[in-house]
Amino acid sequence: MGQWPTPDWPGEPTPGERLLYALGQLYRQWHARATLTPPHEVDVEAVAKMLGIWPEVEFLQDGEDEKEPAQYVHLPGEVLVIDRRQEFPWQLLSDFEWAHEQECKEFWRYFH
């Protein structure tokens, strides 16, 4: 007999979750010396195309100034933040979490 999904059923991973998982696997391989490409040099677009989720990407966005070298991959309902200065350069946020972080950055830029 099949099991019915419950409200906390995780369901299928989102495109952003699939992309972050694949990037995490590349990160693990690099640390195990199984690949020569360091995480900050990984071509996220190529990985997304390989996974077949590139059509889900709504748009790409670069950070607004030199102090913010991050890039943003906007997907439906989520944003993959790429900050190549970090050891693990990828972070997946909901669109609301990302918007909140941007508002905080703008607030501090305005008052400092």
pLDDT, tens digit (0-9, with 9 covering 90-100), for 65-84:
667 678 999 999 999 999 99
Closest C-alpha to 45, from 69, 71, 65, 63:
71
- Token duo for residue 78: 């989520």
pTM: 0.83
- Name the band, by pLDDT with cuts 50, 70 and 90, for residue 6: low
pLDDT at 111: 74
Tally of CB atoms within 10 A around 48: 23
For residue range 27-37, list pLDDT tens digits in order. Answer: 999 989 888 88
> 91 - beta bridge partners?
81
**pLDDT tens digits, residue range 81-106?**
999 999 999 999 999 999 998 888 87
Q: Read off the pLDDT band of 7 (50, 70, 90).
A: low
Nearest to 99 by CA among 77, 84, 67: 77
pLDDT of the residue at 72? 94
pLDDT confidence of residue 1: 47
| Tokens found for residue 6 | 């419950």
